[in-house]
C-alpha cells in the first residue's frame, strides 16, 4: 500500500498525494479517510489535479501512517461498520461550502460561478457551465466530485450510450452526475442521459434480455461545455439539450489569477518571467497547461537548472501548444 503513495518533502513537511485513493477506498470512504487524517493532525491541500495531506514529519512516517489509516477504513467497511453509501439527495450546502473554499482559493473569480451552481442545484435545476478552454470548468467539476458523497463522472468526449448505461448500473447509487466535454458528445450517447434528466431520475436499461430500472429522483447534473466549438453549430441536439440545463457562464481567469494559481499548485514562488510568457501566450493557455508548467518550473529550479534554460523550454512548450490549438481550430 505504502509504495502506491507519492510523497515529497518541503520545509520539513511531508506532502502525501491521496486523491488516487478515491478509487481504492471508494468515494464515500474517501471523505472519512480525509476526516480521520485531519484528526491526526494533517491538513488538506488541493490543486486542480491533486489532493495532499500535509504534516510536519518525514515522508516515510507520513506514508506509513496514511497507509495504516487506509487499511483501517477498508477493514471497517468489510466488517460492516463503515457507513454505507446511501441513495439520498446531495447536501448542496455542504458541497457548495467545500467547492467554494477549494475553487475560490485557486481562482477567486470563480466564487460567483460556484455560488450560482449551488443555488441552482438546491432549486432542483441541472447546470451547464459554459466557457472556453482554460476557464476552470473542469476544475469546478473536479471539486464537486471530491465534495460529493456519490458522484457519477462521465467524460462525454468518448462516451457511448452503452458505456453510460454500464457506468450507471455499476454506480447503482449517485446523487450528482458530472458531465465533462459535452460539446464533444456524440448524438447517440445522449439517450440515457436525457432519460435520467427528463423522467425524474429514472432509467430503464435492458441488457441480455434483463431489464434494470435505476431510480434516483433527486439526481442533479452539472455539465461543462465549450460553446465556441464549431461542431455545435451543425448539431441537431445542442439546443434541445440546453433546454434541460440552466446555463452559467464561466469567465476566463486573469493573468494575475493564473500566476497565483501556478504558485499555489507548485507550492513555490513562480519567477517573474513566467508572467511575461503567460501574457504572451494567454490565448493558448489552459489551467491544466498552467499547472503542468508550474510543476515543471518548480522541479527544474529544485534540480538547479538555469532560469534561462527553463524559460526557453517553457516558451517552446507554449509555442507548441498554440500551434496545436490553431491547427485544431
CATH code for the structural domain at 2-78:
3.30.70
- Whole-angstrom Cα distance, residue 80 to residue 310? 53
Our CA dihedral for 169, 170, 176, 182, rounded to 10 degrees, sits at -80
pLDDT over 70 (residue 128) = yes
Q: Are strands 220-225 and 210-215 parallel, antiparallel or unpaired?
A: unpaired
Domain boundaries, the chain: 2-78, 92-249, 255-328
What is the C-alpha radius of gyration for the chain, rounded to an integer number of angstroms? 21
Cα–Cα distance list, 60 to 42, 71, 303 (Å)? 15, 17, 22
Question: Which spans in the chain are helix H?
Answer: 22-25, 27-39, 59-78, 92-106, 111-122, 137-147, 161-171, 191-198, 238-242, 255-266, 272-280, 287-302, 307-328
Where is pLDDT greater, at 304 or 231?
Answer: 304
Strands lying side by side in the sheet with 51-55: 6-10, 13-17, 51-55, 43-46
Mean pLDDT of the chain: 84
The 10s digit of each residue's pLDDT in 59-101 is 999 999 999 999 988 887 555 444 444 556 667 778 878 888 8
Residues in the chain: 329
- 207 C-beta neighbours (distance < 10 Å), count: 11
Cα–Cα distance list, 242 to 58, 122, 176 (Å)? 51, 19, 18
pTM above 0.95, yes or no: no
The 10s digit of each residue's pLDDT in 4-41 is 789 999 889 999 998 878 767 765 577 778 889 999 99
Annotation: CATH topology of 92-249: Rossmann fold (3.40.50)
The 10s digit of each residue's pLDDT in 268-300 is 889 999 999 999 999 888 888 999 999 999 999
Are the CB atoms for 138 and 224 separated by under 8 Å? yes
Amino acid at each position: 500500500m505504502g509504495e502506491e503513495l507519492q510523497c515529497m518533502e518541503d520545509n520539513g513537511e511531508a506532502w502525501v498525494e491521496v486523491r488516487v485513493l478515491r478509487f481504492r477506498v471508494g468515494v464515500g470512504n474517501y471523505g472519512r479517510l480525509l476526516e480521520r487524517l485531519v484528526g491526526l493532525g494533517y491538513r488538506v491541500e488541493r490543486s486542480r489535479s491533486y489532493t495532499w495531506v500535509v504534516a510536519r514529519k518525514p515522508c516515510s512516517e507520513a506514508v506509513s501512517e496514511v497507509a495504516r489509516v487506509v487499511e483501517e477504513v477498508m477493514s471497517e467497511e468489510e466488517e460492516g461498520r463503515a457507513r454505507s453509501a446511501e441513495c439520498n439527495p446531495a447536501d448542496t450546502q455542504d458541497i457548495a461550502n467545500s467547492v467554494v473554499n477549494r475553487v475560490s482559493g485557486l481562482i477567486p473569480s470563480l466564487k460567483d460561478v460556484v455560488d450560482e451552481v449551488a443555488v441552482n442545484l438546491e432549486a432542483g435545476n441541472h447546470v451547464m457551465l459554459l466557457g472556453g478552454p482554460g476557464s476552470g470548468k473542469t476544475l469546478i467539476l473536479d471539486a464537486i466530485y471530491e465534495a460529493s458523497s456519490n458522484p457519477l463522472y462521465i467524460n462525454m468526449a468518448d462516451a457511448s450510450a452503452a458505456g453510460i448505461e454500464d457506468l450507471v448500473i455499476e454506480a447503482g447509487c449517485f446523487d450528482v452526475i458530472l458531465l465533462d466535454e459535452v460539446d464533444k458528445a456524440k448524438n447517440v450517447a445522449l439517450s440515457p442521459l436525457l432519460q435520467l434528466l427528463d423522467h425524474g431520475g429514472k432509467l430503464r436499461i435492458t441488457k441480455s434480455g434483463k431489464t434494470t430500472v435505476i431510480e434516483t429522483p433527486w439526481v442533479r447534473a452539472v455539465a461543462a461545455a465549450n460553446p465556441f466549438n464549431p461542431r455545435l453549430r451543425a448539431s441537431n441536439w445542442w439546443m434541445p439539450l440546453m433546454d434541460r440545463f440552466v446555463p452559467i457562464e464561466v469567465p476566463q481567469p486573469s493573468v494575475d489569477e493564473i500566476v497565483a494559481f501556478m504558485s499555489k499548485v507548485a507550492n513555490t514562488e513562480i519567477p517573474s518571467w513566467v508572467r511575461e510568457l503567460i501574457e504572451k501566450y494567454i490565448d493558448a493557455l489552459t489551467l491544466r497547461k498552467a499547472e503542468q508548467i508550474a510543476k515543471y518550473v518548480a522541479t527544474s529550479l529544485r534540480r538547479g537548472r538555469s532560469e534561462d534554460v527553463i524559460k526557453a523550454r517553457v516558451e517552446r512548450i507554449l509555442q507548441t501548444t498554440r500551434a496545436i490549438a490553431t491547427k485544431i481550430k
